Amino acid sequence: MTHWITPDWPAPAYIRAATTLRTGGVSQAEFSSLNPADHVNDLPHHVLENRQRITSMLALPAEPVWLRQTHSVQVVCADQVTEPPEADASYTRKNSTVCTVLTADCLPLLLCDRQGTMVAAIHGGWRGLLNGIIENTVLKMSSTELYAWLGPAIGTQCFEVSDDVRNAFTNKSAQFASAFKKHTEDKYLADIYQIARILLNKAGVKQIYGGQYCTVTDKERFFSYRRDGQTGRMATMIWKV
């Protein structure tokens, strides 16, 4: 049994990427079992063991570059990081640097160029997506031909938002209206994958893959903050070999 998902996209052969599942670790109860997040009140020695298991099972070339994610639009160069920086995306041109984001309903998004010279990992909550985390990361990718992969996130039937969230997006562009469906009097169902596709297209990224998951409904494989409140996180990572 594998405890991760591998992106189905046409990245060059020397680009590696994966999203860990919630299985295959040592954490207990609501963190069961492969939780690598150290900010969710899981036992530190369990988190450490889980991180070591992830490094081993994915044959990572180095310790992942962990971020302190705050739903910002901050992008950092992963190979220049010493301590976990406050940022929501990282990129690198160097081999053996593992760009990593943690999610449990937010959208993990991976980028690489056609030549395989650069990779990036993005944490996309709705605030980061609205405010420009995708655009900021694409600007760091000095290539006109990028591939994007949309990892496991909250599905459109589960992502209920208020009308002010919808209005914030539609005020930015009328195109976003297609990503929201009326649900109740003042609530909408949002399609975070569609939001990301629109933003990627606007940023010049046309080759987009993934986006078929729902972290809320697939309890066996995925952690979900919307579903469970206190819970673990999946790690989505990308690196060059």
Cα distances from 10 to residues 7, 17, 116, 208, in angstroms, run 9, 12, 11, 10
Cα distances from 39 to residues 44, 143, 155, in angstroms, run 9, 34, 24
Cα distances from 95 to residues 18, 98, 235, in angstroms, run 16, 9, 19
Rounded to whole angstroms, how far apart are CA atoms 239 and 208?
Answer: 18
Q: Residue 209: how many CB atoms within 10 A of its CB?
A: 15
Name residues of the chain where pLDDT drops below 50: none
Residue 1 is predicted with a pLDDT of: 83
Residue 63 is predicted with a pLDDT of: 96
Rounded to whole angstroms, how far apart are CA atoms 28 and 34?
Answer: 9
Rounded to whole angstroms, how far apart are CA atoms 159 and 202?
Answer: 23
Residue 81 is predicted with a pLDDT of: 93
Residue whose token pair is 């160029």: 113
Cα distances from 179 to residues 193, 200, 201, in angstroms, run 8, 14, 14
Q: What residues pair up with 5 in beta bridges, in sequence order?
A: 19
- Residue ranges and CATH numbers for the domains of the chain are 4-153+216-240 (3.60.140.10)
Q: Residue 240: how many CB atoms within 10 A of its CB?
A: 22
How far is CA 210 from its chain centroid? 12
Residue 146 is predicted with a pLDDT of: 97
